């Protein structure tokens, strides 16, 4: 999709969208258009009771005294960034109805223009890669958006970092949508190696190297698969100094059958998305690098496939993590925490981060508790948790802090090892038990937040600026967190 910003003027033909603030008069150019059409705009607003509330829409077809095909009056509410973005989402839901492939937009301000463009990018998405029949492809997607704004260069400057985030979100969505026969540990790593972005470096650690590091928990998960387990390290050096990085860790189970603790078929159908944490970290690192964030950051991806075979780990096996702690594997379907625990140890000991955020589609329990729009977070640092909560409110990617503590820790007691990988009371506090397991691998009080995105990485119905399917949740959230609290 092509997006361009132009000086404020009225197009001679085509489809025109006029952005209107709530309870505010039309812009000067909007008033000119109203005069040209002999008051058609204001009359339609009066008849329809249009106030400019976010998402309100009036459709004027073939307006008099113009060569325009259509004028759409679109309410942007109070004109906040989120309201303008979601107003763009309203348009995307109408593109097939109004046959919109190319649109012109009349914006009042440069910030409004940039945010509308960003909203269009977030919503104008569909994964059609494998559709070969024309009738199954998207009937209509926007191909070109021209936004008239007072100072196009200023709008472009505002939009440039937003565009970087949008690109990161698209990468995350694409990776999650891909089937597991296309995205598996090696192909995921190859994708990362192909990221040719200034300031971003990529390292792949193979299974033999991980074995030498003692990463037995992660390797145990993937030992039943025909694919080799890998760890990918994405480094972004946005500062000239050697300041400790902020680390983002992603669970990358490219397909989760449950292992020998086999999932039922109905639960397995969407398990290509179990690498959502790794996909989100990848998209975030791309966004940070493309917008040249003033930070040193590192992304650590644990890429495995959890499959049943004669080589798969068994319920009751004991594995030794990189930390030296032993784990009795009571359920091979509680595998994500086994991947993350070794990533946590590696990151702390080898990369020395100032703070860590891990993302994982970890538990069905968090989906039951919080639904598809709110991620559960767990943390050993009140300030970090509060900052992330605030970032979620700003970007409308909300999080909700859930508890950890001794009552959950006791459920991890094993009779023969340092801990078990699931709670000894099934279906009791599952998300908190999983987080408590991870907390056992935090060393020297490293500030840490665990983000359980099992509910938010995928949506069955679609949400504002998040089409049905892979949402890209977490890229905006963490980019905002970096921008507000870690960049200098």
Binding residues for Mn(2+): 251, 256, 274, 333, 335
Catalytic member of 263, 292, 401, 440: 263
One-character DSSP codes across 24-57: -PPPHHHHHHHHHTTSHHHHHHHHHT----TT-E
Nearest to residue 42, comparing CAs of 25, 62, 59?
Answer: 25
Ranges of beta strands (E only) in 381-476 are: 399-401, 419-420, 448-452, 458-459, 469-470
| Neighbour count for residue 115 (Cβ, 10 Å) | 27
Which helix or strand (DSSP H or E) is residue 148 part of?
strand 144-149
Handedness of CA 165, 169, 175, 176 (dihedral sign): positive
Catalytic member of 173, 235, 291, 337: 337
| Neighbour count for residue 330 (Cβ, 10 Å) | 18
Helix 475-485 × helix 276-290 angle, to 10°:
50
Which helix or strand (DSSP H or E) is residue 273 part of?
none
One-character DSSP codes across 94-146: TTTTTT-SEEEEE-SSHHHHHHHHHHHHHHS----TT--SGGGS-S----EEE
- Is 42 exposed, middle or buried (CB count within 10 Å of its CB: 0-12, 13-18, 19+)? middle
| Neighbour count for residue 309 (Cβ, 10 Å) | 12
Catalytic residue list contains 126: no
149 beta partners: 7
Longest dimension (CA), the chain: 84
Give the residue numbers of the binding site.
251, 256, 274, 333, 335
**From CA 112, how far away is CA 134, in angstroms rounded?**
35
Catalytic residue list contains 263: yes
Active site residues: 263, 337
């Amino acid at each position: 999709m092509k997006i361009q910003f132009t000086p404020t003027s009225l197009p001679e033909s085509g489809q025109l969208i006029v952005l209107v603030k709530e309870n505010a008069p039309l812009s000067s150019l909007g008033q000119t258009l109203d005069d040209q059409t002999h008051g058609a705009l204001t009359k339609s607003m009066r008849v329809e009771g249009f106030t400019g509330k976010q998402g309100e829409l009036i459709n004027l077809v073939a307006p008099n005294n113009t060569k325009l095909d259509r004028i759409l009056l679109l309410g942007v509410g109070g004109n906040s960034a989120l309201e303008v973005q979601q107003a763009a989402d309203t348009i995307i839901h109408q593109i097939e109805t109004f046959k919109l492939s190319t649109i012109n937009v009349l914006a009042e301000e440069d910030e409004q223009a940039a945010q509308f463009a960003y909203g269009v990018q977030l919503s104008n998405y569909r994964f059609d890669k494998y559709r070969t029949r024309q009738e199954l492809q998207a009937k209509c997607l926007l191909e070109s958006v021209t936004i008239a704004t007072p100072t196009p260069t200023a709008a472009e400057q505002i939009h440039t970092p937003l565009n970087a985030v949008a690109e990161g979100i698209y990468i995350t969505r694409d990776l999650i949508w891909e089937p597991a026969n296309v995205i598996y540990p090696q192909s995921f790593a190859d994708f990362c190696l192909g990221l040719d972005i200034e300031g971003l470096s990529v390292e792949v650690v193979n299974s033999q190297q991980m074995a030498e590091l003692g990463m037995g928990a992660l390797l145990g998960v993937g030992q039943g698969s025909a694919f080799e387990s890998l760890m990918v390290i994405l480094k972004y050096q946005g500062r000239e100094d050697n300041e400790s990085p902020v680390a983002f860790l992603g669970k990358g189970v490219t397909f989760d059958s449950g292992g020998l603790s086999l999932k039922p078929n109905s639960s397995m159908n969407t398990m290509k998305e179990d690498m959502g944490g790794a996909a989100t970290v990848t998209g975030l690192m791309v966004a940070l690098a493309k917008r040249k964030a003033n930070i040193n950051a590192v992304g650590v991806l644990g890429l495995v496939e959890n499959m049943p075979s004669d080589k798969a780990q068994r319920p009751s096996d004991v594995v030794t993590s990189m930390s030296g702690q032993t784990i009795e594997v009571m359920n091979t379907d509680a595998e994500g925490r086994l991947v993350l625990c070794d990533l946590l140890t590696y990151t702390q000991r080898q990369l020395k981060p100032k703070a860590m955020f891990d993302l994982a589609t970890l538990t069905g329990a968090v989906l039951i508790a919080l639904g598809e729009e709110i991620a559960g977070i767990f943390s050993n640092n009140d300030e970090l948790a509060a900052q992330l909560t605030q970032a979620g409110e700003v970007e409308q990617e909300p999080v909700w802090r859930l508890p950890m503590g001794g009552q959950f820790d006791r459920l991890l007691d094993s009779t023969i090892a340092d801990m078990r990988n699931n709670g000894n009371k099934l279906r009791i506090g599952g998300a908190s038990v999983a987080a408590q397991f991870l907390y056992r691998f935090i060393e020297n009080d490293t500030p840490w937040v665990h983000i359980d995105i099992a509910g938010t990485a995928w949506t069955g119905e679609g949400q504002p600026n998040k089409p049905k399917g892979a949402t890209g949740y977490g890229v905006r959230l963490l980019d905002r967190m970096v921008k507000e609290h870690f960049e200098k």
